[in-house]
Amino acid sequence: MGAGGRMQVTTSSRKSGTEAIKRVPCEKPPFTLGDLKKAIPPHCFKRSIPRSFSYLICDIIIASCFYYVATSYFSLLPQTLSYLAWTLYWVCQGCVLTGVWVIAHECGHHAFSDYQLLDDIVGLTFHSFLLVPYFSWKYSHRRHHSNTGSLERDEVFVPKQKSAIKWYGKYLNNPLGRTVMLIVQFTLGWPLYLAFNVSGRPYDGFACHFHPNAPIYNDRERLQIYISDAGILAVCYGLYCYAAAQGIASMFCVYGVPLLIVNGFLVLITYLQHTHPSLPHYDSSEWDWFRGALATVDRDYGILNKVFHNITDTHVAHHLFSTMPHYHAMEATKAIKPILGEYYQFDGTPVFKAMWREAKECIYVEPDREGEKKGVFWYNNKL
């Protein structure tokens, strides 16, 4: 839903194919968070341990079946069919493990159960399995939710202002340059963010998710960063033992490539949730939590919406009520859309088309008005 009467920023069509994308309102909304919460059925805020585990166990069973079939039968296939089978395995296993990643992410938001300890045990186990430092990312991600849309304090995919674009930026602003940047972003973006805070907010000092004394964390959180690192080291040791027994090639095929796909989907999903020509960003003179939380967009990934536990098409509701379990988010989104009106942003553009468009259109942000609302910034691409 676009902001009626506001400036059109692109001629791309929405899912209906008729309405052009327009800017979301940047003024303080005429409704409150309380109004939205009242519109949502109360049961949507209830977390169920059996139901939460049912999604996790289902994902584990499917991933285990994929692993069993791959390791037991692919070697029996003719070489040509074997290549095809492994390709299908990598894609399918990567998608399913992305769903596992989403459930572990919910644990970090205390959306899995009513018990924080249980959430942390489940989250630590399965994020570590996917080489994510659970507590480290839990705390930085919570700060992202606390500062969404802020140019100074948001944690990830913080857009640059035009003055911060490097001299070589104009040489990358072409199809070949965008292709290279997207490949790097979706293959190396996640580990580079964890290790070196690439695309994150600037900190004084070495901002690394594996470093307990990193400026990302306060003194109360540092012990848990050690626990996160211990979880990663335990999984790395397990992978070393597997490689020693089965070979590095086997480990790469059954685990390494699906993990790359998980990392790629994670970056893609996050990128498209927070990068869109219609979304505003705010400096400290204009930012507030509510408008920042609304400055995100729901996307349509087709059947993968279900595989990814609807993190893709209910992200607006997730930013407003992050402790809500994913299995209630669709109902909650439907309930709040009439109240949100033009403040709700959904884009049904096919994912890869949207990815290319955002990479082309959303290069930096700048204010477009010299008068009021100088602190509201919009995407532009003219270098």
Domain hosting 257: range is 48-291+348-380
Helix 257-274 and helix 175-196: axis angle, to 10°?
Answer: 100
Secondary structure E strands in the chain: 8-13, 20-22, 281-282, 298-299, 346-347, 364-366, 376-380
8 A C-beta contact, residue 368 and residue 162: no
Would you state the pLDDT for residue 8? Answer: 38
pTM score over 0.75:
yes
Bridging pattern class, strands 298-299 and 346-347: parallel
Residue 11 forms part of a structural domain: no
Number of Cβ atoms within 10 Å of the Cβ of 19: 12
Both tokens assigned to 104: 């572990």
Residue 278 forms part of a structural domain: yes
Would you state the pLDDT for residue 22? Answer: 83
DSSP state of 289: H
Residue 191 forms part of a structural domain: yes
Residues in a beta bridge with 346? 298
Residue 332 forms part of a structural domain: no
**Residue-by-residue DSSP string for 305-363:** HHHTTTTTT-HHHHHH-TTS-GGGHHHHHHHHHHHHGGG--EE-S-HHHHHHHHHHH-S
Residue 85 forms part of a structural domain: yes
Query: Which residue's structure tokens are 């098409």?
Result: 313
Overall number of domains in the chain: 1
Q: Give the contacts of 122 (CB within 8 A, at least 6 positions apart).
A: 56, 103, 104, 107, 112
Number of Cβ atoms within 10 Å of the Cβ of 76: 8
Residue 189 forms part of a structural domain: yes
Residue 101 forms part of a structural domain: yes
8 A C-beta contact, residue 35 and residue 339: yes
Rounded (5°) CA angle 97-362-151 = 85
Would you state the pLDDT for residue 4? Answer: 36
As a residue count, the chain comes to: 383
Identify the CA nearest to 296 among candidates 309, 313, 308, 310.
313
Would you state the pLDDT for residue 12? Answer: 37
3-class state of residue 366 by DSSP = strand
Residue 117 forms part of a structural domain: yes
CA dihedral of residues 322, 325, 330, 335 (deg, nearest 10): -60
Identify the CA nearest to 126 among candidates 70, 53, 211, 66.
53
Would you state the pLDDT for residue 166? Answer: 87
Query: Which residue's structure tokens are 């690192």?
Result: 229
8 A C-beta contact, residue 382 and residue 361: no
With a cut of 50, which residues of the chain have pLDDT below it? 1-19
Query: Which residue's structure tokens are 């020509």?
Result: 277
Would you state the pLDDT for residue 372? Answer: 67
